Amino acid sequence: MTLKREIKKETWKGGTMIYPLPAPMITCGDIDGEYNIITIAWTGIISTDPPRCYISIRPHRYSYEMIRKSGEFILNLTTSKLAFATDWCGVKSGKDVDKFQEMKLTPQRGIEVKAPLIAESPINLECRVFDIQKMGSHDMFLADILRIHATEEYINKETGAFNLNKADPICYSHGKYYSLDKFIGKFGFSVKKKRKKKKGKK
C-alpha cells in the first residue's frame, strides 16, 4: 500500500510515554494502627468483570511492604482540591512523616479491608491483592476491586447518578498535573522552594 503522506517523526528508544494518566492516592495499613499514603500513576483497570485493577510500585517504597503483607489497599481518586496532597504524597516517604496528619486528610473506615479510605476523595476503591508479579523496576500488584465508596455530594438525589466530573478530577500528563479544565502544577510543585525575588527587579 502507498502512504498518503508522511509526518516527520523523531525516534527514541522505548520509554514510559502513555499519558494522560490518573494519579490516585493509594492508602494501606490499618486504620487503627500504622497506615500510609502513596501516589501512583502506574495504575489501571485490567478486567471489567470481575472488576480488577493493578498498581505498580518500586520495592524500596515504604508502602510496598505494607501492601505486600496485608494484601490490601484502597485506591482514592484525586481532584483539584487534593492536588497538593497528591503531589506531596508521591514525593515524601511515610518513613519520615504521617501523611494523613501533615496533609490534614481524614482516614475513614472501609468495609472489606482494614486500610483507611481518604474521606476527602470522591471515590474510594477497596482492593484485595490476588497476585504480585515482578516487572523490572516495579512490581505489579494485581487486585480485585471489592467495593466502591462514593461521596454523596456528587450523587444526584433524584436519579442516583454519580457525577465524577463534578468533583473536578485531575490527571497526570508528562510531568504535569491538570484538572480537566486547567493546568495545576508540575510534578514536585508541592515541595518546590520558591525562588527568592532579587531586589530591585520586578
Q: How far is the CB of 87 from a copy of itself (least distance, A)?
A: 16
Q: Which residue, 79 or 190, is less far from a copy of itself as judged by CB?
A: 79
* CA distance linking residue 114 with residue 93, whole number of Å: 21
**Shortest Å distance, C-beta 108 to a copy of itself:** 6
| Gap between the Cα atoms of 199 and 202, Å rounded | 8
We find the least distance from the C-beta atom of residue 64 to a copy of itself, in angstroms, to be 14
Q: What b-and-e string marks burial along 42-80, b requiring 16 or more CB atoms within 10 Å of the CB? A: bbeeeeeeebbbbbbbeeebbbbebbeebebbbbbbbbb
Looking at beta carbons only, is 19 or 191 nearer to a copy of itself?
19
- State the nearest-atom distance from the C-beta of 200 to a copy of itself, in Å: 30
Query: CA 84, CA 28: separation in Å to the nearest integer?
Result: 20
**Size (the chain), residues:** 202
Which residue, 78 or 190, is less far from a copy of itself as judged by CB? Answer: 78
- The answer to whether 57 and 64 are in contact (CB under 8 A) is yes
**Distance in Å, CB of 194 to a copy of itself, minimum:** 23
Cβ-based nearer residue to a copy of itself, 61 or 201: 61
Write down the least CB distance from residue 62 to a copy of itself, Å. 18
Where b means 16+ CB within 10 Å and e means fewer, 154-180 reads beeeeeeebeeeebbbbbbeeeebbee
Would you say 92 or 139 has its CB closer to a copy of itself?
139
The DSSP secondary-structure symbol of 80 reads: G
Residue 97 or 119 with smaller CB distance to a copy of itself:
119
Cβ count within 10 A of residue 197: 8
